[in-house]
Amino acid sequence: MALLANRLDLDAWRRGHHYRSLALGGLAWGVQPVDAAADSAWGGLATLDIPLLGGTRPWVDAWLTRGGELRIGRSGSVHWRTDGHWTFGQLDLHEAQGALEQAAYRAYRDLFAALEDCGCPHLLRVWNYLPRINADGGGMERYRQFNIGRQQAFIDAGRDPFEGSPAACALGTPGAAPGGLSVRFLAARVAPKPVENPRQVPAYRYSRTYGPRTPTFSRAALADAGDGQLALLVSGTASIVGEHTLHPGDVVAQTQETLRNLQAVIDSAHEGCTARYTLADLQPTVYVRHAGDAAAVAQALAQAEPAWRDPPCVQADICRADLLVEIEAHAFAPGAVA
């Protein structure tokens, strides 16, 4: 049994039935919303109708399994696919069903129920998308409302919302369900090893300056992918040192600081495993707040890491209003958790 990741353009996915037959699921970027959970042509992919920048074409980040049979199910609002070792799930909630705090709580309540139903209790990676993430939501920023609901769901489920947090990101994007919250997740039967960045305060230890409840995620996670491979799953990473934003208003400097943080995460991961990764090994997704900054970000990335020439780039609001760019990534390498 093995977990695989494959990045390919949308046309290749549509042509490749062999990909779909192996797919736990994944994210399809720049695609009009469809009921992916019910449409076998999508192989469990969660579509994201999100603006693509810098010539980026619609693409698929697919999570595949080698060996075993897929089981497909639904737990509350969550659609999931599992081989018994790994699970990919997705859900979309409209805020008409409740305020964002309540929607986040319900989403994670259903997510945890799904993990129990499919026999993969450990979250590896979560992708959260919601519109107007930095907007006021009745006296409190919407991202902070989301954090309250998410953390409370962890607590009520008996899960550690601090040191045991999964790798994750939270972006403001029109790719979320209209007026609502979209969550995608990867889970496993075996717990991952959380990774923190020594240059940053762990997100779950932020001061109340950043909200009444802290964000529930680790900077990265190391996960056994089978066949002697170890996956490094890197959370959304931005220009934060300590707990403060650096270089406000300067997208190039923020990009360079983000790269330093990514390298620090890699170095920290190396302390807990025998696998070895480099920046060039990472498969990045780049989120840029302002479309007009995409070219400058791409140039800064190419200068720092030539292997990252023309990475997939999308337009999204970052979780802090003064952050202009965020990068998430994953990589596989031979090795094991130490």
CATH number at residue 177: 3.30.1330.40
Q: Which residue has the higher pLDDT, 68 or 92?
A: 92
Reply yes or no on whether the pLDDT at 65 is more than 80: yes
DSSP 145-204: HHHHHHHHHHHHTT--SSTTPPEEEEEE-TTSSTTEEEEEEEEESS--EEE--TTB--GG
- The alpha-helical segments, DSSP class H, found in the chain are 10-15, 17-22, 100-118, 142-156, 251-270, 294-304
Active-site option among 101, 141, 326, 328: 326
302: tokens are 């190419």
To the nearest 10 degrees (0 to 180), the angle between helices 294-304 and 251-270 is 40
- How far apart CA 273 and CA 213 sit, in angstroms, is 31
Condensed to tens digits (0 to 9), the pLDDT of residues 97-152 reads 558 999 999 999 999 999 999 999 999 999 999 999 999 888 899 999 999 999 99
Reply yes or no on whether the pLDDT at 35 is more than 70: no
The pLDDT assigned to 226 comes to: 97
Number of domains, the chain = 1
- The pLDDT > 70 percentage for the chain reads 94
The pLDDT assigned to 67 comes to: 75
Q: What average pLDDT does the structure give for the chain?
A: 93
> In the annotation, is 196 catalytic?
no
Q: Of 8-12, 61-65, 308-312, which one has max mean pLDDT?
A: 61-65
The pLDDT assigned to 1 comes to: 85
Boundaries of domain holding 95 = 2-334
The pLDDT assigned to 98 comes to: 59
Question: Helix, strand, coil proportions of the chain in percent (round to 5)?
Answer: 30, 35, 35
Among 31-40, 224-233, 315-324, which is the least confidently predicted range? 31-40
- Report residue 76: phi and psi, to 5°: 60, -125
